[in-house]
Structure 1
Amino acid sequence: MKLVVQVKLLPSSEQAAALEATLRACNRAAGYVATIAFERGVKDRNGLQKLLYAEVKARFGLSAQPAVRVVKKVVDAYAALTAQARAGLLGKTTSKRYRTAMSTPVAFRPQAAQPFDDRCLSWQTDARTVSIWTVDGRMRGVRYTGAADQLKVLDQYRKGESDLVQRRGKWFLIATCEIPEPVVADPVDFIGVDRGIVNLATTSDGTNYQGRGLRRYRAWCARKRTELQKKQTRSATRRLARRAQKEQRHATHINHRISKEIVSVAQRTGRGIAVEELDGIRDRVRLRRDQRATLSSWPFHQLGQHLAYKATQAGVAFLEVDARHTSQRCPRCGHTEKANRPDRDHFCCRRCGLAGPSDHVAGVNVRNRARSAWAFVTMPVHSRT
Structure 2
Amino acid sequence: QAKGTKSAKRRLKKLSGRENRWMTDVNHRLSKTLVQKFGSNTLFVLEDLTGVSFERTDLPKALRNQNKSWAFYQLAQFLTYKARLNNSEVIEISAQYTSQRCPKCGTIKKSNRNHDLHEYHCSNCGYRSNDDRLGAMNIQLLGTQYISGQEQPKFELTTNA
Residue 281 (structure 1) aligned with residue 52 (structure 2): yes
Aligned to 1:312, the other structure's residue is in SS state helix
In the alignment of these two chains, the number of paired residues is 146
- What is the aligned partner in structure 2 of residue 107 from structure 1? none
Matches within 5 A, 1:89-100: none
Residue 359 (structure 1) aligned with residue 132 (structure 2): yes
CA contact (8 A) 1:266 1:316 kept: no
d(CA) in 1 for partners of 2:88, 2:136: 18
Point out where structure 2 has 5 or more consecutive residues left out of the alignment.
152-161
- What is the aligned partner in structure 2 of residue 376 from structure 1? 150
Residue 321 (structure 1) aligned with residue 93 (structure 2): yes
Aligned to 1:327, the other structure's residue is in SS state coil
CA contact (8 A) 2:55 2:68 kept: no
Match of 1:303 among 53, 63, 75: 75
- What is the aligned partner in structure 2 of residue 334 from structure 1? 106
**Identical counterparts, % of pairs:** 34
Shift of 1:239: 1.6
Matches within 5 A, 1:59-138: none
The structure richer in helix per residue is: 1
TM-score (norm 1): 0.34
Give the letter aligned to residue 94 of structure 2.
D
Shift of 1:321: 0.6
Point out where structure 1 has 5 or more consecutive residues left out of the alignment.
1-228, 378-385
Shift of 1:232: 4.0
- CA change 1:322–1:236 in 2 (3 A) is same
Shift of 1:281: 2.7
- CA change 1:232–1:350 in 2 (3 A) is farther
Shift of 1:249: 1.2
Residue 235 (structure 1) aligned with residue 7 (structure 2): yes
Shift of 1:254: 1.3
CA contact (8 A) 1:274 1:320 kept: yes
d(CA) in 1 for partners of 2:43, 2:76: 14
CA contact (8 A) 1:266 1:273 kept: no
d(CA) in 2 for partners of 1:281, 1:366: 16
d(CA) in 2 for partners of 1:264, 1:351: 40
- CA change 1:231–1:350 in 2 (3 A) is farther
After the TM superposition, list the runs of 4 or more consecutive aligned residues in structure 1 that deviate by more than 6 angstroms: none
Match of 2:122 among 331, 349, 365: 349
Shift of 1:342: 0.6
Which structure has more RCO (C-alpha within 8 Å, separation ≥ 6)? 2
d(CA) in 1 for partners of 2:32, 2:88: 12
- What is the aligned partner in structure 2 of residue 272 from structure 1? 43
Give the letter aligned to residue 253 of structure 1.
D
- RMSD of aligned C-alpha atoms? 2.4
Shift of 1:316: 0.6
- What is the aligned partner in structure 2 of residue 10 from structure 1? none
Aligned to 1:352, the other structure's residue is in SS state coil
Q: State which structure, 1 or 2, has the greater radius of gyration over its C-alpha atoms.
A: 1
